[in-house]
Amino acid sequence: MKIKISLLLAASNASRFRTFATCSLLCSSFLASAQAQTAPQLGKAPLKEVIAALTPEEKVKLVVGMGFYPAGFPEGILPPSDPEDRKVPEKIPGAAGRTHAIARLGIPSLTLSDGPAGVRIDPIRGGDSTKTYYATAFPVATLLASSWDTTLVRKVGVAFGSEVRDFGIDVLLAPGMNIHRNPLGGRNFEYYSEDPVVAGNIAAAMVNGIESNGVGTSVKHFAVNNQEFNRMQLNSKVSERALREIYLKGFQIVVRKAQPWTVMSSYNLVNGTYTSQSRDLLTTLLRGEWGFKGLVMTDWYGGKNPVAQLQAGNDLLMPGTTAQTQAVLAALKSGQLTTAQIDANVARVLTLVLQSPTFKGLKYTSQPNLKADAAVARQAAAESMVLLRNEGKTLPLAAGRKVALFGNTSYNLIAGGTGSGDVNRAYTISIAQGLTNAGLIVNAPLTQAYGQYIKGEKAKLPKTKGLLDPAPVIAEMPVDASLLTQQSQAADVALVTIGRSAGEGGDRKVENDFTLSAAEQALLKQVATAFHAQGKKMVVVLNVGGVIEVASWRDQADAILLAWQPGQEGGNAVADVLRGTVAPSGKLATTFPAKYDDVPYSKDFPGRLLASTGQASGNSLTGAPSENTYEEGIYVGYRYYNTFQVKPAYEFGYGLSYTTFAYSNLKLSAPTFAGKMTATVTVTNNGPVAGKEVVQLYLTAPSGKLEKPESELKGFAKTGLLQPSQSQTLTFSLTTADLASFDTATSSWVADAGTYKVKVGASSLNIKQTASFAVPKALVAEKAHKLLAPQAPITEMKLSQK
Ligand code: BGC
């Protein structure tokens, strides 16, 4: 009985507790909802009211990200973020960053993810491999730019952006579009070109394609981030003219033509100021002069002073640290950071949130159409590869030909670069597989030998320490003499692939990277000798992310196909071109110099440590104070080679086809320039097979007050697929801005008076048609601000040094 009573008591206590608990839950949720009803909600109340309702702490949360805990980084290596943030489960594992939510005002957290060649997220979640989250590895940026085809790049962007959307990501941290200043730049594969007109137009097509899916992009790294060496503390010293004409112009084009949702400032300093702390760059120029409407975020852990970053107009500090939170809050409380300033930053964060798929509540499947996107990746790769050499019509190869495949990367294709530009893809089609798929016969004994060798070497590789510590490339397999003889007798043709990998965190080297290794040179020589002795040919495929040396060995090759790093469908795309299913139509958007020493100021790349600080070279997360002076000024890439008559191995704009094209009838709309002009030219396929031609318009300006390069690209277009004898007329337009150079003395863009020569051609050195027009009186295209001036005058290369 006693027991019964106590049980009853316990039960009634429990029910009382339940009643109390229910009441307090109800009451507090009633209170919360009452509060929520009174608190202005994002998207419902005017933005101003939402901002006014934020506490200082909440404002700081909105401008500082939620931290970053990538797999493979031991705890403690990266600066900690708010420990509380760690408890919030990641929406998309493997994404690069998140913004804070403020639930009471209806502000959700956004997810940001890399990167330039495909969505970079973890393919497996929580150890459950029954469901995967692979993304398509599209071809790298350098390859896409070689298409010179904005329609094609937009199509890649549309497919790419559909994966961003389908994975529930709000902003893609791409495209990258820094200038290829030097072939050794470790991230050149993530960037498009040495020329800002190509980079800007290709990037604009990419942004427009991606954003057509209702997701955002972050155009990066703004600006002058042309190397990896000490990237967190490197000061790039550049003249205002070179900045405006070369390093900033591509970004200006992308802002004008695509108005991206966001821009990512870079790690480096320009003329003494971190780009993320430069109001000149982020506010006066980007927003003021160019009319950028979106948000600026830092690169991950970029810059030093979070308050200066916000004041500069860098609205979001990514990925966010506790130290930043504390510093910004303290500055806000002390008045060092004004409420008006942080409100402006917050307004841009909230405008981004309002645009985002997360805010709009868009449902996502996490299952993009990988099959359809792979087809786009393959088409883009095949249509952008550059045929560098094709002696005696070595290519295309007929079906059924027996191919002896040499080179590790024939079997182990390098789909893309490393670091944040890498993509977790479901598969990579090797060249061996691609050729087999296309009906060519790949010789088995060689395949077996390489298979065994690669497996053995891979097993010996050290375990990588994460994103910025990629596995080294396997050394080239020495080929046994008897196997070689047997192959040269059995096969119809030899194919040798040379591969290179690079990526974030380090620049490339001259030896065994820009130049071929001794093993690679030996392989080419052996194979060429053995096959030529049998009257058979050797084709070389370059599976590289950046420029390499070709002049010393190319004569041994009958054909050279520059396949770049062609993404996961690379092997199929290489086969499409080798077989002639797709006629090659890519052209170089970056010069292949004859030798490394020909690159202007190559010896000074990537810069020097500032010894005065006594600090040894830092790693890619810290860096050490360093600087690099851009002494070549505006003479970057072909602007240098063509002006100073340094003959490259393959010039800017170069590329062969399986057909040929005739150019005719270049016509200008008027003999005298009156603010606008059009040029038309007719291109005819006068060869044997269907093909597309990239047509380039260069302008040679009169020498007036300012020095001018020999010529500069002002426009480009690609024909449709022209059948033999078919013609197409292309139209280019020129405005005053296209004629103008930046005059530092007057801070304005000026087109000198005189005669301008229009040169339309198949490359920067292969001009097919010319015409001239007059500018009777100098024209000012635009007045600009005086900004970003070097701390001390820079001695730049001059025409008189020719
Ligand atoms: C890279 C950026 C990248 C970011 C997030 C940085 O180290 O420089 O390009 O978007 O990390 O992964």
Q: Is the pLDDT of residue 253 over 60?
A: yes
Helices vs strands, H then E, count in the chain: 23, 27
138 Cβ closer than 6 Å to some ligand 1 atom: no
Neighbours of 639 (CB within 10 A): 26
Can you tell me the mean pLDDT for 721-750?
Answer: 98
Could you give the residue ranges of the DSSP H alpha helices within 440-517? 444-460, 481-490
Q: Which of 98, 420, 423, 467 to mutate to test the pocket of ligand 1 (most atoms within 8 A of CB)?
A: 420
What are the chain's domains?
47-355 (3.20.20.300), 385-588 (3.40.50.1700), 656-801 (2.60.40.10)
On whether the CB atoms of residues 264 and 299 are closer than 8 A, the answer is: yes
Q: Angle at CA 247, nearest 5°, toward 241 and 248?
A: 85
SS3 for 714? Answer: strand
Six-digit token pair at 674? 């009156």
Q: Could you tell me the distance, in angstroms and rounded to a whole number, from the CA of residue 56 to the centre of ligand 1?
A: 28
For the chain, give the percent of residues with pLDDT over 70.
94
Six-digit token pair at 213? 């899916």
Q: Which range, 119-128, 472-481, 717-726, has the best average confidence (pLDDT)?
A: 717-726
Task: Tell which phi-psi region holds residue 168, choosing left (phi > 0), alpha (psi between -120 and 50) or beta.
Answer: left
* 218 CA closest ligand 1 atom index: 10
Q: Is the pLDDT of residue 105 over 70?
A: yes
Sign of CA pseudo-dihedral 324, 325, 328, 334? negative
Q: Is the pLDDT of residue 386 over 60?
A: yes
CA distance 590 to 758: 21
| 512 or 468, greater pLDDT | 512
* 225 CA closest ligand 1 atom index: 8
- Cα–Cα distances in angstroms (integers) from residue 657 to residues 536, 559, 727, in the given order: 22, 12, 16
pLDDT at 73: 64
Q: Could you tell me the distance, in angstroms and rounded to a whole number, from the CA of residue 298 to the centre of ligand 1?
A: 9
**pLDDT, mean over the chain:** 93
114 Cβ closer than 6 Å to some ligand 1 atom: yes
- 513: amino acid identity, one letter: D
220 Cβ closer than 6 Å to some ligand 1 atom: yes
Q: What is the pLDDT of residues 275-324, one digit of tens each?
A: 999 999 999 999 999 999 999 999 999 999 999 999 999 999 999 999 99
CA distance 471 to 455: 14
Under the banding of pLDDT at 50, 70 and 90, the label for residue 75 is low
Q: Which of 140, 178, 504 to mutate to test the pocket of ligand 1 (most atoms within 8 A of CB)?
A: 504
pLDDT at 495: 98
Q: Is the pLDDT of residue 328 over 60?
A: yes
Q: Could you tell me the distance, in angstroms and rounded to a whole number, from the CA of residue 340 to the centre of ligand 1?
A: 29
Q: Is the pLDDT of residue 587 over 70?
A: yes
173 Cβ closer than 6 Å to some ligand 1 atom: yes
Q: Whose CA is nearest to atom 5 of ligand 1?
A: 96
pLDDT at 623: 86
For the chain, give the percent of residues with pLDDT over 90.
88
468 Cβ closer than 6 Å to some ligand 1 atom: no
Q: Is the pLDDT of residue 29 over 60?
A: no
Q: Whose CA is nearest to atom 7 of ligand 1?
A: 300
Q: Could you tell me the distance, in angstroms and rounded to a whole number, from the CA of residue 785 to the centre of ligand 1?
A: 30
Q: Is the pLDDT of residue 83 over 90?
A: no
389 Cβ closer than 6 Å to some ligand 1 atom: no
Q: Is the pLDDT of residue 18 over 60?
A: no
Q: Could you tell me the distance, in angstroms and rounded to a whole number, from the CA of residue 554 to the centre of ligand 1?
A: 36
Q: Is the pLDDT of residue 554 over 50?
A: yes
Q: Could you tell me the distance, in angstroms and rounded to a whole number, from the CA of residue 54 to the centre of ligand 1?
A: 30
* 120 CA closest ligand 1 atom index: 12
Under the banding of pLDDT at 50, 70 and 90, the label for residue 470 is confident
174 Cβ closer than 6 Å to some ligand 1 atom: no
Q: Which of 98, 114, 187, 220 to mutate to test the pocket of ligand 1 (most atoms within 8 A of CB)?
A: 114
Q: Whose CA is nearest to atom 9 of ligand 1?
A: 420
Q: Whose CA is nearest to atom 2 of ligand 1?
A: 299
* 221 CA closest ligand 1 atom index: 9
Active site residues: 299
